[in-house]
Structure 1
Amino acid sequence: MKRLFLLAGLMLSATTVHAQDKVTIEFVYPYSAIFDVTYEAILPRFQEAHPNIEVKFRASYEEYEDASNTILREAVSGNLPDVTMQGLNRQQILVENDIAQPLDPFIAKEADFEVEGYHPAMLQLSTFDDQVYGLPFSVSLPVGFYNTAMMQDAGIDGFPATWDEVIAACGTLREAGYENPIFWDWQITGNWLFQALMWSQDKPIVEGNAMTLDSPEALVALQTIQKIVNECGMKNLSVEEAITSFTSGEIPMLFSSTSYVGRISRGNADLAFTTASFPGIDGAPLGLPAGGNAAMMTSTSDDPAVRAAAWEWIKFLTSGEGAADVARTTGYMPPNRAANELILADFYDRYPEKASAVEQLPLMREWQAYPGANGLAITQVIYDGLERLVTGEQPDMEELQQELVDEVAELLPH
């Protein structure tokens, strides 16, 4: 009997120790409509591999601007998560404000880190002052989405390679009875597609601490958007309305992030659609901005166990298997060699609609953050300017360009 009590006591003691050894980390990510299904796939495998780590999910960010603003507020209030997903163009502000922590000390302890698939070119997206502050989780490039049945019905063979060809296709589609033939996602986070039009001309929107909104390329970008809006008769839908309209077979052409592939497929499994390369100005684009997000450590815990657990979560998310789930559930490219070359060996043959971004990888350029502490405000100024363009409030592109130049100049560091 004494032995039974002793065994029971030992078992209770072991259980107590095991419970005490469990570490909880807090995690938050943007775009629940895109990524919920991804984390639903990843989390059970992580829990199986790390039963002593509990990942507590906070309410998701709406988009990348919300992610940046929220983290900046939480840094002031002392309520930071242990791991956060931030847009590739929003990492720098966390580095400059000493919110994000370098991952090099953790990477240094990993054996064969690059062999696990972390491609140096992808790591460069999250490297500042020669230190790695994030591991890219998902990478996208802009593409064209096409309803193949509607395009064929209008007699359009192939897919437009330039915006002039897109506009010509709009005319053909309208003649065939499609009143709203296009949506160009001008509202997308971080002025991403505006930067795409700039990079298409091999012109960055930021050079050093200056912006190039006064350049001929910026004027061409504005004029191109105006032609898409006016000559295609594009309606000013919200992004949600546009995706729903495309998914339901009302819009033949949609231009946005390849990340929407999974969402569109889940929204209408019977929809016949494909993707193709993003059109250029006078030919193929000379460059395109890399979209997506990276996992960053923002833990303020003094407990080494918490920080170690946060690193295990970051590492698992961006590993070959974790990155492969990104491709399987969304349209993002996994920024991990192991996922692209091994786990997903025949994936893009089976799902060609997810391959367009991969085919454009040689065009990948930086999704640029705007200089100084007012980067988010500059993003809003450009957004507001594009809204005036799309709604027709400002029909003169040279005037609009000057308005943007003047408004942004007040926000740049001096």
Structure 2
Amino acid sequence: MKNAICIGAIALILMGQTAVYAETVLEISYALPSNYKTTQEEIARRFEEAHPGVRVELRAPLATYDDVVNGLLKARIAGGTPDVAFVGMNHIGLLAERGLAVPLDRYVQKQGGWQALGYYDKILSLGDVDGKQYGVPFAIALPVLHVNVDLVRRAGGSMETFPSSWEEITELGRKISALDPKLTGFTFQYDAWANWGLQTLIRAAGGRMDAPNGCGIGFETAAGRSALETLQLFHDKGMPAMSWQQVVQAFSSGTIGIAAASSSSTARNQAQIKTAFEYRTLPFPITSANGKLPSGGTMLVVTTPDPQKQELAWEYAKFATSPAAQTIMAQNTGYAPVSQRAVDDPALLASFYKSHPNQATALAQMSKVTNWYMWPGPNGLKIPSVIQDYVDAIIVGKSSAGETMPRLAPAVTALLPPC
């Protein structure tokens, strides 16, 4: 009954934004259909209802955020640019640098400023490049600990005394693995796109990927070395090299005790687990007083070169990140919303999070949000794969943390544009 009331309220709010347009097609590009397809289709349908004369065409969803960006780069030369694109949070700098995203500031000023739109303050900085707003975040993913409470208890642990350090967490994972050869005690999402997993460790330790002035690397520090040492700790404690897709499947089947991974799988985990075992999420360990957490997830950018279409594309961006649409997104996916108004409103998400505490864990970490870094220059899309090779070597035991940094730092520096 509560869901029916909430859906009805959303429909009324969205329909209240009706405007009439001449027959226009708005093309949308996005990725990760397993996460977003239902939500994208629902928001597109409701936008059409609220904007008679507009037809929203969702292009065939792509596999990854990188695919969306590569499509934009190709369309710039061959034509066929979409009007709106949902890209990874880390791509906004590259899109701004290459002129693929339209600055939104003039539209926001007409609207009365960002404050009038009800977003979380910290969220907007994720779409800012050199003082201009090029993107509006749509769905926020933060790292959390996914915990099989039944396995934790079988291994002698408890949620009341759950460890807070990586050393203790991985030791608990080792005890879970010892229960049965079919069990994996602990996993970490080391293979996420664009080194998101490594960045979570570096940022949580108070470090950063680039230098403070934005020129060159900034991870050749105590925080960077600590992150690599933590990856080695995971290997030394017996963590297998499992892809993040394998982890999602194995966790929901009950064979993983603790998975440090994106909050984006929370809703899917809950739906698949049901009552098979007790499932909880916990905050990601932040190891420094000034530690932050890079936001994964997706950002909406206006990409059409047509000035008339840009106005309508902005309307779509505003609509998709409105309190009502964000409620649809959060309930369908498990990603955290960007609309504080949606979270504060009992008719939208306030009561939802009270009854879905696992999805509220990421939301409670929003004060720690920072950007998911992307390297500048022509090698911006290549550098993450270079870094990933070094990360993989530590995970499988081919290289130690101490051996890695002296090789990794110059390898990345050589691919960066000169300062």
TM-score by length of 1: 0.89
Aligned to 2:249: 244
Match of 2:392 among 378, 387, 408: 387
User: What SS does structure 2 have at the residue aligned with 1:109?
Assistant: helix
Aligned to 1:192: 196
CA RMSD of aligned residues (A): 2.0
Shift of 1:406: 2.1
For the pair 1:274 / 2:280, whether they are aligned, the reply is: yes
Paired letter, 2:202: M
Match of 1:367 among 372, 375, 378: 372
Alignment of 1:12-411 (within 5 A): 21-111=22-112, 114-158=115-159, 159-177=162-180, 179-207=183-211, 208-231=214-237, 233-271=238-276, 272-281=278-287, 286-301=291-306, 304=308, 306-342=309-345, 343-394=348-399, 396-411=400-415
Shift of 1:64: 2.4
Paired letter, 1:392: G
| C-alpha distance in 1 between matches for 2:391 and 2:178 | 28
Runs of at least 4 residues of structure 1 off by over 3 A?
A: none
Deviation per CA, 1:333-352, whole angstroms, max 9, x where unpaired?
11112111112112211000
| C-alpha distance in 2 between matches for 1:145 and 1:407 | 34
**1:284–1:155 CA distance, 2 compared to 1 (3 A):** farther
Deviation per CA, 1:44-95, whole angstroms, max 9, x where unpaired?
3222212311111112232222222222122122221100011121111111
Paired letter, 1:238: S
**1:20–1:111 CA distance, 2 compared to 1 (3 A):** closer
**1:46–1:330 CA distance, 2 compared to 1 (3 A):** same
Paired letter, 1:87: G
Deviation per CA, 1:356-412, whole angstroms, max 9, x where unpaired?
112112222222222322121111111111111222222x22221122112112101
Aligned to 2:9: none
Shift of 1:222: 0.9
Aligned to 2:13: none
Deviation per CA, 1:16-59, whole angstroms, max 9, x where unpaired?
xxx99311011011211111122233233222212311111112
User: What SS does structure 1 have at the residue aligned with 2:140?
Assistant: strand
| C-alpha distance in 2 between matches for 1:213 and 1:109 | 40
User: What SS does structure 1 have at the residue aligned with 2:350?
Assistant: coil
Paired letter, 2:65: Y
| C-alpha distance in 1 between matches for 2:163 and 2:43 | 37
**1:124–1:285 CA distance, 2 compared to 1 (3 A):** closer
Shift of 1:269: 2.7
| C-alpha distance in 2 between matches for 1:377 and 1:80 | 23
Would the aligned equivalents of 2:127 and 2:133 in 1 still touch at CA under 8 Å?
yes
Shift of 1:255: 1.0
Would the aligned equivalents of 1:278 and 1:285 in 2 still touch at CA under 8 Å?
no
Alignment: residue pair count: 391
Would the aligned equivalents of 2:21 and 2:52 in 1 still touch at CA under 8 Å?
no
User: What SS does structure 1 have at the residue aligned with 2:382?
Assistant: helix
Unaligned segments of structure 2, at least 5 residues: 1-19
| C-alpha distance in 2 between matches for 1:285 and 1:141 | 17
User: What SS does structure 1 have at the residue aligned with 2:353?
Assistant: helix
| C-alpha distance in 1 between matches for 2:107 and 2:34 | 31
| C-alpha distance in 2 between matches for 1:115 and 1:338 | 11
Unaligned segments of structure 1, at least 5 residues: 1-18
User: What SS does structure 1 have at the residue aligned with 2:304?
Assistant: coil
**1:380–1:368 CA distance, 2 compared to 1 (3 A):** same
Question: Quick check: 65-74 or 238-247, which moved more?
Answer: 65-74
Shift of 1:299: 0.5
TM-score by length of 2: 0.88
**1:390–1:340 CA distance, 2 compared to 1 (3 A):** same
User: What SS does structure 2 have at the residue aligned with 1:136?
Assistant: strand
User: What SS does structure 2 have at the residue aligned with 1:211?
Assistant: coil
Would the aligned equivalents of 1:134 and 1:297 in 2 still touch at CA under 8 Å?
yes
